[in-house]
Amino acid sequence: MNHPARIFSQKIFRFIAIAFVLVLFSAPQVHAQTDEQREAIQKFGTALQIINFAYVDSVDSPELVASAIKQMLKELDPHSAYISKEDVERVNEPLEGSFDGIGVTFQIFNDTILVVSPVPGGPSDKLGIIGGDKIVKIDGQSAVGEKIDNDYVMERLRGKKGTTVSVAIKRNGKKELIDFDIVRDKIPLNSIDATYMAAPDIGYIKLTRFSKTSMDEFHESVRELRQEGMKDLILDLRNNSGGYLNTAVELSDEFLPDDRLIVYTEGLRNPRENFYATSTGSFDNEGRVIVLINEASASASEIVAGAVQDWDRGLVLGRRSFGKGLVQRPFRLPDGALIRLTTARYHTPTGRCIQKPYDEGMEEYFKDFKNRLEHGELVSADSIHFPDSLQYITPAGRTVYGGGGIMPDVFIPIDSTRFSDYYTDLVRKSVFNDYIMSYLDNNRAQILSQYPDVMAFKTGFVVDDKMYADFTAKAAEAKVVRDADEKYYYPDEDLKLQIKALLARNLWDAEAYFVVINTIDDELGAAIDLLQNKKQFSELQGK
């Protein structure tokens, strides 16, 4: 006779197996299943029942199913992914363009929560919390010590809009703690890190992701730059790993005339879908454009670069992009988790599919940067060879290439100093961060009174020999010492500029960092030179 508990357990797992089948059949556009597919689904459900019936220990069934889904997706391609219910909001946050919280940029410094800067117009800014403040209590509980890490801060300072959190702040020059009751609100996550005039007539915009708010930010940036006299634009998409396809289409539309094909997507079960430019572009008939890309520019970044390049609208400068030409679509599971499934490939206007191969497995796929470095591709364009079958011709008669990423019109080798062991250790062991925080702890008010804005700081502030000696002493304390025989040497003057740029970022914002550090940016410098040489620009454009 069957034991009642066993019968109940078997019923539960039949239900789980059926639910799994229903999930597979509930997604839109799922086609009729073959006998082979039905057998596979039944096999999965049966295996789950057997495990429950006979396994030696108790089993976490939801976790087991999640692990099975993850492994299945790994067999498909590198970009299909399972996202648990708990992670959905966190993963989507950068693309949604906002989160709920108190509105501060913070760092953990000496086991203390240090406010780097409040978000302008956010709840903390409105209450008068300033950069340099230290949060030492949260809701009456001590918020200092070894327990403090990023997760600790996020759990306590983030929360639903309209809820209140109480903090006690230690401020330099004040003996007593200052208490604040902060009502949480929507906090914007900007996708544009920098907007400024890089040279007379030349505007610069650095876009870090393609989110829901990117186009509003872009339009505001263009308006600002035009008021400052912009005629030509440098769009920096380096290290931009992508985002929403529709945002990439809208941004491409800004540069192309009406009815030009921007990109098309196509998959086995997804018929070809074309995306065209409209007549609403704000930069489609005037001004020259340069798009900066590198080996970490992917997906949506490659759509924009490919459209600009294929229509001879501007020049692409830098190094071959990542090569992600796969389109993911989210499918929600019954428990709130998501499957982001690759459903199509995208193609540039000339027909290029720029997805790099992934048939050698995921580990090899994500080692691509290391492989490019070893093969010399990052330092010499001559090491890159494309077969004739991957050549495509633009309307102006220029040759462009498919087969894995966007190959730029103008190749700029990677800055080898970024491979300096000394510089890497300075970052890895938090020497930069510790020095900057200590310096600003003592000098923030003085610097801000002397330099009212970042341009004044850029022109007037100097990292002198004493500051640099203090910095190298802190490095030595962390056991970071320069090797005289180091292959890749990071110049002292560049290190001083890095310190200055990081000071600017902590005093103002991310844009301030780029305003300062971009003075030694070879790729940006080459873009500026090209825009200032109209003859050379036109020749490279094929006009």
Give tens-digit pLDDT for 436-471. 989 998 999 999 999 999 999 999 999 999 999 999
pLDDT at 31: 54
Q: Which amino acid is at 248?
A: A
pLDDT tens profile 394-426: 999 999 988 889 999 999 999 988 889 999 899
CATH topology of domain 98-188: Pdz3 Domain (2.30.42)
Classify domain 192-412 by CATH number.
3.90.226.10
Query: Residue 248 region, left (φ>0) first, then alpha (ψ -120 to 50), else beta?
Result: alpha
How far apart CA 543 and CA 400 sit, in angstroms, is: 16
Name the β-bridge partners of 207: 192
Q: In the beta sheet, which residues pair with residue 135?
A: 113, 169
pLDDT band at residue 1 using 50, 70 and 90 as cut-offs: very low
- Per-residue pLDDT of 112-148, as tens digits, reads 898 887 887 789 988 889 888 899 999 999 999 988 8
Q: Is 193 a catalytic residue?
A: no
Give the start-to-end residue ranges of the domains of the chain: 4-59, 98-188, 192-412, 418-524
| pLDDT score of 21 more than 50 | no
Average pLDDT score over residue span 350-373: 87
Residue 174 pLDDT: 83
Predicted confidence (pLDDT) at residue 279 exceeds the cutoff of 50 = yes
Contacts of 215 (CB under 8 A, 6+ apart): 247, 250, 251
* Distant-in-sequence, close-in-space partners of 50: CB < 8 Å, separation ≥ 6: none
Average pLDDT, the chain: 88
What span, in angstroms and rounded, lies between the C-alpha atoms of 436 and 352?
A: 46
Q: What percent of the chain has pLDDT over 70?
A: 94
What phi and psi values does residue 293 have, to the nearest 5 degrees?
-135, 165
Dump strand ranges (E) for 376-493. Answer: 391-393, 399-401, 410-411
Is 524's pLDDT higher than 60? yes
**Based on C-alpha coordinates, what's the Rg of the chain?**
27
Distance CA 504, CA 499 (A): 9
Q: Regarding predicted confidence, which is higher, 47 or 527?
A: 527
Query: In terms of pLDDT, which residue wins out, 109 or 495?
Result: 495
**pLDDT tens sequence across 164-206:** 999 999 988 788 899 999 999 988 888 999 999 999 999 999 9
Span of 153-167, 169-183, 376-390 with lowest mean pLDDT: 376-390
133 is catalytic: no
Q: 289-293 and 399-401 as β-strands: parallel, antiparallel, unpaired?
A: unpaired
pLDDT band at residue 360 using 50, 70 and 90 as cut-offs: confident
What are the pLDDT digits (tens) for 67-122? 999 999 989 999 999 999 888 877 877 777 778 899 888 888 888 898 887 887 78
Which pLDDT score is estimated for 203?
98
Q: Which helix (H) or strand (E) holds 136?
A: strand 134-138
Residue 32 pLDDT: 59
The catalytic position among 214, 299, 301, 420 is 299
Rounded alpha-carbon distances, angstroms, from residue 369 to 1, 348, 414: 62, 23, 12
- The candidate with the shortest Cα–Cα distance to 339, out of 30, 59, 7, 2, is 30
Q: What is the mean pLDDT of residues 224-253?
A: 96
Residue 477: its H or E element: helix 465-477
Query: In the numeric block, which tokens belong to residue 26?
Result: 């509930």
Reply yes or no on whether 500 is catalytic.
no
* Active-site entry in 236, 310, 312, 368: 310
Identify the active-site residue in 170, 206, 324, 474.
Answer: 324
Q: What pLDDT is attached to residue 8?
A: 39
Per-residue pLDDT at 212 exceeds 60: yes
Kindly indicate the confidence band of residue 11, based on its pLDDT and cuts at 50, 70 and 90.
very low
CA angle 124, 125, 126 (to 5 degrees): 90
Asked whether residue 27 carries a pLDDT value surpassing 70, the answer given is: no
Of residues 120 and 325, more confidently modeled: 325
b or e along 431-462 (b: 16 or more beta carbons within 10 Å of the residue's beta carbon)?
A: bbbbbbbebbeeebeeebeebeebeebbeebe
